[in-house]
Amino acid sequence: MGVSRLKNLANNSVFMECNNTTDRDILEKELGKLRTVTVERPKKKLTTLLLMFMPKEVEDGAIKDTILQQNNLAHLEDSILNIKFTKSTFEDSRHVVTEVSPNLRRELVALREIKLYWNLYTVEDFIVVTRCLKCLGFGHTTRFCQNQQKCSNCAEDHHWSVCSNQHFTCCVNCLKANSYIRDDSKQLHSNHCVFSKECPRMRRIESIIISKTDYSS
């Protein structure tokens, strides 16, 4: 049986990650035999959706009920729709990131356009990736960063606004990942901007987030 990761948590808890679901099930069964140990799987996160060009005058507290009523979704049991944050702001509208339950997400994505007051608005899946705008790494924000400033264009130790390497592009995250990959055939392509949607490291982070998100219901 393989355990790929082990981490001590608060309240005398230990997080264990197995190599595959078979090993996980074996470990869960054996630990369940111990009276002194309580075993539970980590709860998956709710899905997130992007509601595009929502009118600014529509308050956060009114969005859920209005969407459910106008799109004939009030019958859904235990549906959740929480406003997480505003992603982009325009003159009369904004892009809103929402946290939704799997059953509601399924219905809204199927509609693609939802009714809200007198207009139709686009809705699509959205993956929230926490990243730093200083070191450009993942998992933390600039406020808590103690790392060196990195350039989003060339990966050197300066801000992108003063970068003189305009004809050279390199992703600092792929470059860092390659330093741990010994097999040359598995090296990541790093000749792209760190914010590229095709960045291998970004896509890997997104796949991890998806694996920890509840799309099942």
Query: Domain spans of the chain?
Result: 1-42, 47-125, 142-211
Q: Which residues of the chain form beta strands (DSSP E)?
A: 3-9, 13-18, 47-55, 81-89, 93-100, 113-116, 119-125
Q: What burial class does residue 57 get, using C-beta atoms within 10 Å of its C-beta: 0-12 exposed, 13-18 middle, 19+ buried?
A: exposed
The predicted pLDDT at position 162 comes to: 92
Question: CA torsion sign, 31 to 35 to 38 to 41?
Answer: positive
The domain defined by 47-125 folds into Alpha-Beta Plaits (3.30.70)
Write out pLDDT tens, residues 61-78: 888 999 999 999 989 888
Instruction: Give the pTM.
Output: 0.69
**Which residue ranges of the chain lie beneath pLDDT 70?**
217
The predicted pLDDT at position 217 comes to: 54
Write out pLDDT tens, residues 131-150: 999 999 998 889 889 899 99
- Residue 109 CA to residue 100 CA, distance in Å, equals 11
- Residue 92 CA to residue 121 CA, distance in Å, equals 14
